[in-house]
Amino acid sequence: MLFATANQHKVDEVQRLLGAAFEVVTPAQTGYADDIPETGDTLEQNARQKARFIFEKFGQPCFADDTGLEIDALNGAPGVYSARYAGDEKDSVANMQLVLQKLHGVTNRAARFRCVIVLILDGREYAFEGRVEGEILTELHGTQGFGYDPIFRPDGYPCTFAEMPVEEKNRLSHRGKAVEQLVKFLGNYA
């Protein structure tokens, strides 16, 4: 199935979650090298925009996701700007450092990851959302995962996403929950 992303970390994670039932193919693997637009003000708008763009280009069933980290003390930021919070370079370390700087001395460190997936199948759109509540730590912990994983500890767990085995993170994560809904939908689709 065509996945409207250029982020190889997401591709690898989603492929593991989907298993052998579906092969994830990116636009780049089909020869498309340009950017996929994401100019929406919400995760839902971005996921929908990316899915529609790729569907119009290729005319095939496809899906797109948008994911964001929402921090209560920052009024939901970085949110839709999570990947480019510290600049257009999409530097994960710089993004985390900016978050930690803005939260310096702040005691309310509640946050959540949200992932919205939009699937276009037979010309119809379907949306799935996963979320996981947690908190932002004061420093980086762990080397697994990507993005903000080293500073995000999910509620009820003693470690960050970056300290967890990949299988455990995928089972708990926002993207894992959204993909689980996607897989269930596809399994029931007639």
Catalytic residue among 66, 91, 122, 149: 66
- Alpha-carbon span 43 to 81, nearest angstrom: 9
What does the CA dihedral 132, 137, 139, 140 come to, rounded to 10 degrees? -20
Cβ pair 17, 183 in contact under 8 A: yes
Dig out the tokens for 180 from the structure: 């689980």
Q: Look up 66 and say whether it is catalytic.
A: yes
Cβ pair 98, 152 in contact under 8 A: no
Q: What is the DSSP letter of 42?
A: S
Cβ pair 74, 98 in contact under 8 A: no
What is the widest separation between alpha-carbon atoms in the chain?
Answer: 53
- Match 């420093």 to its residue by tokens: 139
- Match 């999570």 to its residue by tokens: 82
How many residues would you count in the chain? 190
Which positions are annotated as active-site residues?
66
